Amino acid sequence: MKVKVITQILEANDRIAAENRKKFKDANIYVINLMSAPGAGKTSLLERTIKELNGKIKIGVIEGDIAGIDDALKIESLGAPVVQINTGGACHLDANMISDVIDDLPLKELNLIIIENVGNLVCPAEFKVGEDMKVMLLSVAEGDDKPLKYPLMFQESSALILNKIDLLPYTNADLGKIKRDSLTLNPGLKVFDISCKTGEGINEWANWLQELLK
Looking at the Cβ atoms of 109 and 145, the one nearer to a copy of itself is: 145
Distance CA 121, CA 100 (A): 24
Q: Closest distance between a copy of itself and the C-beta of residue 35, in Å?
A: 12
Looking at the Cβ atoms of 165 and 209, the one nearer to a copy of itself is: 165
Asked if 61 and 114 touch (Cβ cutoff 8 Å), the reply is: yes
Looking at the Cβ atoms of 9 and 214, the one nearer to a copy of itself is: 9
Asked if 82 and 76 touch (Cβ cutoff 8 Å), the reply is: yes
Q: Closest distance between a copy of itself and the C-beta of residue 141, in Å?
A: 4
Binding residues for a copy of itself (CB under 8 A): 1-8, 10, 37-40, 65-70, 72-73, 76, 82-91, 97, 100-101, 104, 118-123, 126, 139, 141-143, 145-146, 148-152, 164, 166-167, 170-172, 197
Residue 61 CA: distances (Å) to CA of 32, 106, 117, 122, 178? 10, 11, 11, 22, 29
Asked if 137 and 35 touch (Cβ cutoff 8 Å), the reply is: yes
Angle, vertex CA 62, rays to CA 126 and CA 147, nearest 5: 35
Asked if 53 and 59 touch (Cβ cutoff 8 Å), the reply is: yes
Looking at the Cβ atoms of 110 and 209, the one nearer to a copy of itself is: 110
Q: Closest distance between a copy of itself and the C-beta of residue 87, in Å?
A: 5
Q: Closest distance between a copy of itself and the C-beta of residue 212, in Å?
A: 27
Asked if 84 and 104 touch (Cβ cutoff 8 Å), the reply is: no
Looking at the Cβ atoms of 3 and 214, the one nearer to a copy of itself is: 3
Q: Closest distance between a copy of itself and the C-beta of residue 79, in Å?
A: 12
